[in-house]
Amino acid sequence: MGWEYISSPPYVAAVYSLFTLLPYSWAFFVWTIVSLMLIIIAVYWINKYLIREELLRAGLTHRQLLIVVLSFFPVVFGLNLGQNHALTFFLLTGIVIFSLTERWYLAGVFAGLLAYKPQFVIGFLILWVVWRQYKALAAFLLVVALWLLPVIVHYGFEPFLAYLNALPSLILLPYGVEGF
């Protein structure tokens, strides 16, 4: 069949490995259904908590917003390739909404789950430190520890060191340059 680079940290690869228990077509189908469900939930949250009242009064419905999101090329492309963009969208939406509604533990849990994309989490962490939202920070740290510990216990630090060594090459992947 072939292989593909995993550009996510080692603990994400450990979670993705659960899909190897299924035949490829079933794993892709399950991941696609999960992705669509996450997109639907995120769009529902956006419609309920983030859309301005003027747009709702003008007739913007949940279904219309869902169609707009699902017709966005990166969403279509990501679904077609089995990417984790829907999970990222769902988690980011949750962090924003839980922060705005001051449900700090949930915001921190969602940020911890999104730690596989640290570039999206760092800004929230800085805000939470400035705002002294220690509940969010504690929940974030707890979830990250739960992500990391099984891999560290089972494999040690070697997968993380290999990942850090591979990062310079991973940055070049979009340009078609192979550094492995």
What pLDDT, in 10s, does the model give residues 118-156? 999 999 999 999 999 999 999 999 999 999 999 999 999
Residues 6+ away with beta carbon under 8 Å from 97: 45, 49, 50
Give the residue among 146, 50, 36, 53 at the shortest CA–CA distance from 98.
50
Task: Tell me the pTM.
Answer: 0.89
Question: Is residue 152 in a domain?
Answer: yes
What is the pLDDT at residue 169? 80
Question: Is residue 1 in a domain?
Answer: no
What contacts 24+ positions apart, CB below 8 Å, involve 71-80? Answer: 75/39, 78/35, 79/32, 79/35, 79/36
The DSSP secondary structure of 129-148, one letter per residue, reads: HHTT-HHHHHHHHHHHHHHH
Question: Is residue 2 in a domain?
Answer: no
Domain that holds residue 95: 10-175
pLDDT bucket at 179, cuts 50 / 70 / 90: low
What is the pLDDT at residue 9? 87
Question: Is residue 133 in a domain?
Answer: yes
How many domains does the chain fold into?
1
